[in-house]
Amino acid sequence: MLLLVVGHERNSSLHLAEYRATYPTKRIAQQGAPIRTSGARTWTIFEYIDLDASDFEHIGDDFVNSEAGNMTHHGKVGLADCQLMPQREIVVFAVDWIEVYSAK
């Protein structure tokens, strides 16, 4: 995963960790939308996680300073600062982080 000109506060891969993690403050919300099925338009209700990126910068900093974070490469693309890291590792790290720190 490449973060180009942004930090972990904009790391949308961490939202995947929010979906995968189990934590007491996880809020499930419902939303509706018109969906076309079998040629007919029907109103469909679906559930989603009420996402919260407020801890993403902390998660990212802790990841970069962890053993798994040693695989993060910092550099430039043109004049833009960037970070390149393995997506699977940061998502797994973030799931664990959220489960520990969101329980407090």
Cα 95 from Cα 103, distance rounded (Å)? 12
What does each of the 104 residues of the chain score in pLDDT, given as a tens digit?
899 999 999 999 999 999 999 999 999 999 999 999 889 999 999 999 999 999 999 999 999 999 989 999 999 999 999 999 999 999 999 999 999 998 76
Q: To which residue do tokens 């910092």 refer? A: 74
For the chain, give percent helix, strand, coil, nearest 5.
40, 30, 30
Q: What is the DSSP string of 11-42?
A: -THHHHHHHH---TT--EEEEEEEEEETTEEE
Q: What does pTM read for this prediction?
A: 0.85
